[in-house]
Amino acid sequence: MRAVWLAVWLVAWLVLAPVGAQALADNGMARIERLQDGIATTPEQVRQLPESAWSATAEPNQLAGAQRGSGWWRLHAQSMQEAKQLLLVYHPYSARLTVLAPPDYRPQRKSIFDRRPDDGHSRRALAFAWRDTTQPVYIGVEDARYPLQVAVRTPRAYSVEDYGHVRVLWLSLGILIGVSLVTLLFWMQLRERVYLLFAATMALQMLYVLLAYGDAYALTVLAWLARFGAEGIWFLATTSTIVTVFFLLEFAELWPRAPRLSRALFVVGAQLPVLLLVALLLSAAVPGQNRDWFPPLGNALLLAANALAIITLVVVRLRGGRQAGFVLIAWVPLVFVSTARALQLSAGQPLNPWLEYGLPLMQAFAAVVLVWGLAHRMRVFQRERDAAQEDAEHDPLTRVLNRAGMMRRLDQAISDSRQRRLPLSVLFLDLDHFKRINDTHGHAIGDACLCAVTETIQDEMQPEENLGRIGGEEFLLLLPGSARRHARDLAERIRQQIEARCARVQGAPVALTLSIGVVECQPQDGATSLLRRADEAMYQAKHEGRNRVVVLDAAGMRERAEATVP
């Protein structure tokens, strides 16, 4: 995790260094004057107003104080050597601007929702040509929701600044696009909902950044979204919150670990925003309906949802939810930066580079951390699956393969033997007089005998050989690559070791012995027929007096018997 943080901060420093240096440069404005409230005018009349209609503002680089987000300002530039300059209005968001610039003072109207390319620049700032900086320029603002920052730059200086902006923005968006596509492919293969929710969360956040900066409207595939204006951004931001809440609830496993907090988060972050969206759509259907009520309500719900999400994640993490830890690492920086950015814009303060680009960078960071969390989640599921498969295929007492697991291994061993043209032998082992041991010494000693037998057999086995318990006291040993002669010798060693080591088990005089049947796989054998022949060999050993090895050939004839009854 330290490596991830270090990489993010290093990349951020490299890409933000040139942007930050330019963003903190002199704004180029000497004085800004605001048209007094209540004086209605048109672009054609604004230049004819008397000096008494204008009053100086306290901020030399800010358009603030307008009633209901509208008003006119007069700007005077500092003395500059180059006549041609660009008047820049940063982060215009929903504002529509009309600029009257010398020498002809022809109205120039722009907003981030314009579909035409903006002179090759991004929509981070709206740029207006100012060819005679000795004369004032007039700016008309409509529907501004935040105080607007203004500056004057040369075209060359702004191109350098704008290039830095584009570099940071698309670096972050490229990460989001890549993560969304990869996660979507995972969903298409696995059909697990959490991957679809994650891809949708990342895609919606990416689209929100593009809309908020205005760059989406310059892209052909997204230009149609301009018709929805600021309401489209509100709708998308609220939808993103809803999808994100669904993702957090499932990815971080919040419901089972904190049901009450999860229910509150679901109500505040999903149900109430849905009602808010319905109200927005209904009001949009009524022409002239005021929708200024939506942003404060939407922001309040967003802040409440973020606070509830963080509290719930902390509680779940303290209760052992590891996935919640990944979300906290990803989400807390993102929430902090987005909240600080909104407060800074609302206060009319210039955004420093960390607040301006912290949002897309932290979104990219969150995407990387959450992908890491998804990988960890997949690894946990894989471990659980392997553990379940291990339990399903193994005997709980002796921990060797059970009958189902052994039959799967037997089928695979027969197939491999035929493909590789190698011999395969099978040992069928049965404990002698096991019922008598249970009746005499109890089932605890009987269980201990089974464990002692498996340990002794495993000491004689090779890594590629498989041992399984296929009945109460019956075992099967697969010997890939071994012919009957080698199998017979191994069976005899096992018989002798059991007789020597298991005369007493946990202090009980059990005198444990084995009867072993040995067969070699023939071309016509399947798993059932091979197991049946091995069983026949073992029963012949029983009939001949137990504690012995019997080897049967392909015709079912006894090849050789080993050992004698003590």
Q: What Å distances lie between residue 264 and 251, 362, 431, 447, CA to CA?
A: 17, 26, 62, 52
Q: Rounded to an integer, what distance in angstroms lies between the CA atom of residue 431 and that of residue 512?
A: 7
pLDDT score of 3: 44
Confidence of residue 83 (pLDDT cuts 50, 70, 90): low
> Which one-letter DSSP state was computed for residue 350?
P
Q: Rounded to an integer, what distance in angstroms lies between the CA atom of residue 541 and that of residue 555?
A: 17
The DSSP string of 54-113 is EEE-S-TTEE---BTTBEEEEEEEPP-S-S-EEEEEE--TT-EEEEE-TTT--EEEE-TT
Do you find a cis peptide bond into 92, omega within 30 degrees of 0? no
Mean pLDDT along residues 31-56:
86
pLDDT score of 559: 66
CA dihedral 113, 145, 91, 288 (to 10 degrees): 0
pLDDT score of 16: 44
pLDDT score of 19: 43
Mean pLDDT along residues 220-234:
90
Mean pLDDT along residues 336-345:
82
> Which one-letter DSSP state was computed for residue 51?
G
Q: Rounded to an integer, what distance in angstroms lies between the CA atom of residue 455 and that of residue 481?
A: 22
Is the per-residue pLDDT at 360 higher than 70? Answer: yes
pLDDT in tens, 459-479: 999 999 999 999 999 999 999
Q: Rounded to an integer, what distance in angstroms lies between the CA atom of residue 94 and that of residue 345?
A: 13
List the single range of 207-221, 292-306, 351-365, 477-491 with lowest mean pLDDT.
Answer: 351-365
The pLDDT mean for the chain works out to 86
End-to-end CA distance of the chain: 66
| Nearest CA-CA partner of 518 in 472, 565, 563 | 563
pLDDT in tens, 414-424: 999 999 999 99
Confidence of residue 18 (pLDDT cuts 50, 70, 90): very low
Is the per-residue pLDDT at 31 higher than 90? Answer: no
Confidence of residue 21 (pLDDT cuts 50, 70, 90): very low
Is the per-residue pLDDT at 119 higher than 80? Answer: no
Neighbours of 232 (CB within 10 A): 17
Q: Rounded to an integer, what distance in angstroms lies between the CA atom of residue 563 and that of residue 560?
A: 10
Burial 537-556 (b: 16+ CB within 10 A, else e): bbebbeeeebbbbbbbeeee
pLDDT score of 498: 95
Cβ(462)–Cβ(504) under 8 Å?
no
Confidence of residue 436 (pLDDT cuts 50, 70, 90): very high
Beta strand pairing call for 148-153 and 424-431: unpaired
Q: Rounded to an integer, what distance in angstroms lies between the CA atom of residue 543 and that of residue 336?
A: 81
pLDDT in tens, 485-538: 999 999 999 999 999 999 999 999 999 999 999 999 998 999 999 999 999 999
* Three-class secondary structure of residue 476 per DSSP: strand
* Three-class secondary structure of residue 257 per DSSP: helix
| Nearest CA-CA partner of 454 in 476, 439, 486, 481 | 476
pLDDT score of 339: 85
Is the per-residue pLDDT at 204 higher than 90? Answer: yes
Q: Rounded to an integer, what distance in angstroms lies between the CA atom of residue 105 and that of residue 211?
A: 30
pLDDT in tens, 271-326: 999 999 999 998 888 877 888 888 889 989 999 999 999 999 999 999 999 999 99
